[in-house]
Amino acid sequence: MPISIKDKVIVVTGGAGEIGSSLCRRLVDEGAAVVMVDIADGREIAAEIKKAKRGNKIVFVKADVTSEKDMAKMAAAALKNFGRIDAIVNNAGLFTACPWDDLTYDEWKKRLRVNVDGTYLATRAVVPAMREQGKGKIINIGSDTVWMGTPGFVHYVTSKAAVLGMTRALANELGPHGITTCYVTPTLLDTPGTRAAFQQGHFDYVLSHTPIGKFEKPEDVNGLIVFLCSDDADFINGAAINIGGGISMH
């Protein structure tokens, strides 16, 4: 039997972003029903996915992952449109560089609020449906900066390390309810967004330390997520899996 996510209902937070929108396209292509969640307007992307041969199984929900109210709205929209929630990909995040000397407490709090509180609140909103189903998958998008302690990213590394801890604790606590939790770590991608946000030196470092000798693209993240959303991954719980071409080998 091939790996299948056909008719799985999958929530993707940060779904209008670079990784998120690529993932939403792929999930719909694979036959899943997708709830694309973003604080930015993702209506056009969702409409394009619907139009481009990909079927009708995507809804966009404009919502802030740091808002309890919005996350309740997100879960309600998923249930209203598709009747269940099989998986959530906690992908919404703020990814910026800021040297320690320039880091303000406000900047620190902003990053932790979205990356940590947002992951918690989005997860909390979908767990009741998963418990009722006796099955669900929580997939947290982390970062390999956690393995490397990348300098210039203390706020970001801290936030993503917190999500790794959350992943392991949830794997233990929700596992008995049939809900698995995993953590996946892309490395620095080469995209218009990262090119605008990071310096050439970051890219040079990544390329020269990546054994397979090329940059990661959003599409490179998708396959693992498809697999983790499938029934074939039912026994994978509490795992942290690298998608970084071998730059870190945790």
Ligand X SMILES: NC(=O)c1ccc[n+]([C@@H]2O[C@H](COP(=O)([O-])OP(=O)(O)OC[C@H]3O[C@@H](n4cnc5c(N)ncnc54)[C@H](O)[C@@H]3O)[C@@H](O)[C@H]2O)c1
Which residues sit at the interface with ligand X, rule CB under 6 A? 13-14, 16-20, 38-40, 64-66, 91-95, 114, 118, 141, 143, 186, 188-189, 193-194
DSSP letter assigned to residue 51: I
CB nearer ligand X, residue 139 or residue 171: 139
Query: Min. distance of Cβ 34 from ligand X in angstroms?
Result: 15
Query: Min. distance of Cβ 178 from ligand X in angstroms?
Result: 26
CB nearer ligand X, residue 141 or residue 182: 141
Task: Tell me the residue nearest to ligand X as measured from the CB.
Answer: 17
CB 160 within 8 A of CB 143: yes
| Spatial separation of the C-alpha atoms in residues 197 and 223, rounded to whole Å | 26
| Spatial separation of the C-alpha atoms in residues 76 and 42, rounded to whole Å | 18
Query: Min. distance of Cβ 224 from ligand X in angstroms?
Result: 13
Q: Indicate if 156 belongs to the active site.
A: yes
Give the torsion sign (CA, 119, 124, 126, 132): positive
> Rounded to the nearest 5°, which phi and psi values hold at 180?
-100, 155
Which is nearest to 182 in space by CA: 230, 148, 121, 111?
230
Catalytic residues: 156
